[in-house]
Amino acid sequence: MGWRKTVPALCLALGAAGALPEPATAQDWFTREACTTGEIRIWREVLSGADEAHYSAIAGEVPNSLGRFWKITAPGGQTSWLWGTYHVSERRLLALPQELREVLETADVVALEFNPQPDTRADIRRANDQAWMFISPGAPPDDRADFPPQILDHIALRLETYAWDPGYMSMMTDAGLFSLLLSDPCSDFTPFMPAQDYFIAQTGWLAGARITGLQEPWELGAELTAPERAAAARVALLLYGLYLGPDSARAGLRETGFALYLEGRIGLMDAWSDAWTGQVLGAARGREVVDLAESYLLVERNAIWMEKIRMLADQGNAVIAVGASHLPGDLGLVSMIRDAGYQVERVALPGEMP
């Protein structure tokens, strides 16, 4: 979910210092210049050869860590497709591979994580209801004293981008604040372009496909404000807040992340991203934060989606497009779909690692 894998790591010096940089007076490090993509390649200034080998070895232990495109064959022979997206509007990532474009041209249905096409006016009203974003009337304000002050500053500055008063923060739920951090800050400069997920939906819709989702948009708020997920919502907000600092705009980070994605090295991207969290928060706390956040953001949501995925796969001729980090692992979607009785085969694309 979200854009966080766009900035998978920061400089080692930052982690060694054990502290976050002081915030600027405005969140102006995500400038148009900083957000303009340079050469898409692995920049050794941000990912050394030794680190790449280290994270590659970690990824090698993760099932299905290579590949963005997967063919699903149902027991009855119906064929559908699973695509791992990157939630950004980068031009090169919107140049969809021919193999994906061909199936989008003939697909009956395209399913994103959240259903972008409401059926009724009631659905529209429910999707726009923001009550879940705020704490209950009469509840004490939440100053989030357990967060590093710099993280709170970064979140506040992100709210200012949306013309929200940061004074609202103490009156907002963790889920509500988290929902405001899901878009890539660099997409602020390309509001005319959709992120890759919506671009895929548009491509399929223009070719005649029905558009749906694995969840309804209001379910994120309902799930993350449930008492049993309070801890997951808390660390999810912390995790995304970590990535709003100025070092996330460092030259070469986005380009390297895009290069790894185009090579299909999803497991390496995840390992690199998770390692930076440990460098900033400490190894034990960083691992705790990532595991708890992803217990909902990835694992539980994968399980929630499976009922809809089974229905689509049994019908056949569906394209299912979700964040690429949902695919790898024993509890990733590729494994879950296989365990449900479907054949899932990687479709290696030009430019990807074999």
Per residue in 180-205, pLDDT tens? 999 999 999 999 999 999 999 999 99
Q: Is the pLDDT of residue 212 over 70?
A: yes
The closest of 208, 236, 204, 249 to 301, measured between CA atoms, is 236
Tell me, what's the pLDDT at 263? 99
Q: How confident is residue 24, by pLDDT bands cut at 50, 70 and 90?
A: very low
291 falls within a domain: yes
Strands (E), the chain: 69-73, 79-85, 109-114, 210-215, 318-323, 343-346
Per-residue b or e along 208-239, where b marks 16 or more CB atoms closer than 10 Å to that residue's CB: ebebbbbbbbbbbbebbbeeebeebbbbbbbb
Could you tell me if residue 254 is inside a domain? yes
Instruction: Calculate mean pLDDT across residues 208-234.
Output: 97
- Note whether residue 223 is domain-resident: yes
Higher pLDDT, 16 or 335: 335
Work out the mean pLDDT of the chain and round it to a whole number.
Answer: 92
Q: Pick from 351, 292, 305, 346: which is nearest to 68 by CA? A: 346
Query: Tens digit of pLDDT for each residue in 250-299?
Result: 999 999 999 999 999 999 999 999 998 898 889 999 999 999 999 999 99
- Residue 203 falls inside a structural domain: yes
Question: Has residue 172 been placed in a domain?
Answer: yes
Give the model's confidence band at 13: pLDDT under 50 very low, under 70 low, under 90 confident, else very high. Answer: very low
Residue 16 resides in a domain: no
Residue 15: pLDDT above 60? no
Q: Which domain holds residue 334?
A: 43-115+140-346
User: pLDDT for 79-106, tens place per residue?
Assistant: 999 999 999 999 999 999 999 999 999 9
Of 10-19, 224-233, 249-258, least confident by mean pLDDT is 10-19
Q: How far apart are CA 354 and CA 341, in angstroms?
A: 25
Distance CA 57, CA 272 (A): 11
Least confident residue range of 3-17, 234-248, 273-287? 3-17
- The fraction of the chain above a pLDDT of 70, given in percent, is 92
More confident residue, 15 or 346: 346
User: What domain count does the chain have?
Assistant: 1
Residue 38 included in any domain: no
- Tell me the whole-structure pTM to 2 decimals: 0.92
* Residue of 249, 341, 339, 338 whose CA lies nearest to 70: 338
Residue 30 included in any domain = no
The Cα–Cα gap between 239 and 177 comes to 12
Q: Which long-range contacts (CB under 8 A, 24 or more apart) does 168-173 make?
A: 168/134, 169/144, 170/141, 170/142, 170/143, 170/144, 171/134, 171/135, 171/141, 171/142, 172/133, 172/134, 172/135, 172/142, 173/132, 173/133, 173/134, 173/135, 173/224, 173/225, 173/233
Nearest to 22 by CA among 177, 247, 184: 247
In the prediction, which pLDDT does 21 show?
A: 38
